[in-house]
């Protein structure tokens, strides 16, 4: 009688200006229900954010392949790492990818640059007041917690993230692993069309759609969408 193969750990990375607290709230519950462990490294401060998060994937995969993923910037970095390390990646859980290749004038890049300008010009407290005015209460609370945790490194982190290329569609086409992608159809900053473009380029990918409204009511709705898409892609 043979024992079942252990399931890989899932290493999930945060988005621009976000943190591991939000990532855990999205993914840990759905993954635990499937018997998988969530690893959510905190984002390094300042300009080290992208390089540091990529290093965290290297470290996590030292003992064997991992399921990599994340939200927005975290999704970009996980896919970038998988392209470089296909033998170490058991699959991808990608939520709300924001652009393909160089960011150019992508809405998420513009938003991150504008946020960095606010912080530099007005300081953190006033930047938060301006950035959260008129947004959904849950999003305002997430921004307030995460931005304060980034501290003095926030503006530099936002600028580095805004300029960091995502994998090109050509690079994604070489990635023959199961990929689950979650998109929010009511999110203009992370257009669902980008998620579908990624899925079309990837050999084994499925997109499941949800909404920001659902995310506000239930953080795990986004993680469930990505996980179910991954399971479907792997089937």
Domain of residue 183 covers 10-101+166-234
Say if residue 30 is in the same domain as residue 63.
yes
Mean pLDDT of the chain: 96
Say if residue 142 is in the same domain as residue 219.
no
Say if residue 175 is in the same domain as residue 144.
no
Say if residue 118 is in the same domain as residue 90.
no
Residue 187 lies in a domain: yes
Say if residue 136 is in the same domain as residue 193.
no
Residue 3 lies in a domain: no
Contact (Cβ atoms closer than 8 angstroms) between residue 106 and residue 98: yes
Residue 4 lies in a domain: no
pLDDT value at 108 more than 90? yes
- How would DSSP label each residue in 192-227? HHHHHHHHHHSSSEEEEEE-HHHHHH-THHHHHHHH
Residue 140 lies in a domain: yes
For 118-149, the pLDDT digits (tens) are 999 999 999 999 999 999 999 999 999 999 99
User: What is the mean pLDDT of the segment spanning 153-179?
Assistant: 98
Q: Could you tell me how far CA 206 lies from the centroid of its own chain?
A: 16
Say if residue 120 is in the same domain as residue 90.
no
Say if residue 85 is in the same domain as residue 171.
yes
Say if residue 14 is in the same domain as residue 90.
yes
Say if residue 33 is in the same domain as residue 122.
no
Provide φ and ψ at 91, rounded to 5°: 155, 175
Domain end (from 131, 159, 187): 159
Give the global pTM: 0.96
Residues 6+ apart with CB under 8 A from 160: 46, 47, 49, 50
The CA-based diameter of the chain, rounded to the nearest angstrom, is 65
pLDDT value at 2 more than 60? no
Rounded to the nearest 10 degrees, what angle do helices 49-60 and 73-84 cross at?
A: 50
For 54-98, the pLDDT digits (tens) are 999 999 999 899 999 999 999 999 999 999 998 999 999 999 999
Say if residue 73 is in the same domain as residue 123.
no
Provide φ and ψ at 67, rounded to 5°: -90, 115
Residue 215 lies in a domain: yes
Q: Could you tell me how far CA 91 lies from the centroid of its own chain?
A: 14
- Say whether 84 sits in a helix, a strand or coil: helix
For 11-66, the pLDDT digits (tens) are 999 999 999 999 999 999 999 999 999 999 999 999 999 999 999 999 999 989 99
As a whole number of angstroms, the distance between CA 36 and CA 218 comes to: 20
User: What is the mean pLDDT of the segment spanning 204-218?
Assistant: 97
């Amino acid at each position: 009688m043979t024992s079942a193969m252990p399931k890989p750990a899932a290493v999930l990375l945060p988005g621009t200006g976000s943190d591991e607290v939000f990532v855990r709230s999205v993914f840990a519950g759905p993954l635990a229900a499937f018997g998988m462990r969530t690893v959510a490294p905190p984002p390094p401060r300042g300009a080290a954010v992208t390089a540091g998060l990529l290093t965290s994937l290297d470290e996590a995969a030292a003992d064997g392949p991992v399921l990599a993923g994340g939200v927005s910037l975290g999704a970009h970095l996980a896919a970038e790492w998988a392209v470089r390390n296909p033998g170490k990646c058991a699959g991808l859980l990608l939520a709300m990818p924001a652009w393909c290749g160089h960011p150019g004038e992508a809405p998420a890049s513009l938003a991150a640059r504008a946020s960095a300008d606010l912080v530099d010009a007005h300081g953190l407290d006033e930047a938060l007041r301006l950035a959260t005015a008129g947004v959904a209460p849950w999003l305002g609370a997430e921004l307030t917690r995460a931005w304060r945790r980034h501290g003095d490194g926030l503006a530099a982190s936002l600028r580095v993230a805004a300029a960091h290329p995502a994998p090109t569609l050509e690079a994604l086409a070489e990635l023959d692993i199961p990929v689950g992608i979650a998109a929010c159809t009511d999110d203009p900053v992370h257009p669902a069309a980008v998620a579908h473009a990624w899925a079309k380029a990837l050999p084994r990918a499925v997109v499941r759609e949800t909404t920001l409204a659902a995310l506000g009511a239930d953080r795990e709705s986004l993680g469930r969408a990505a996980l179910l898409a991954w399971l479907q892609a792997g089937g």
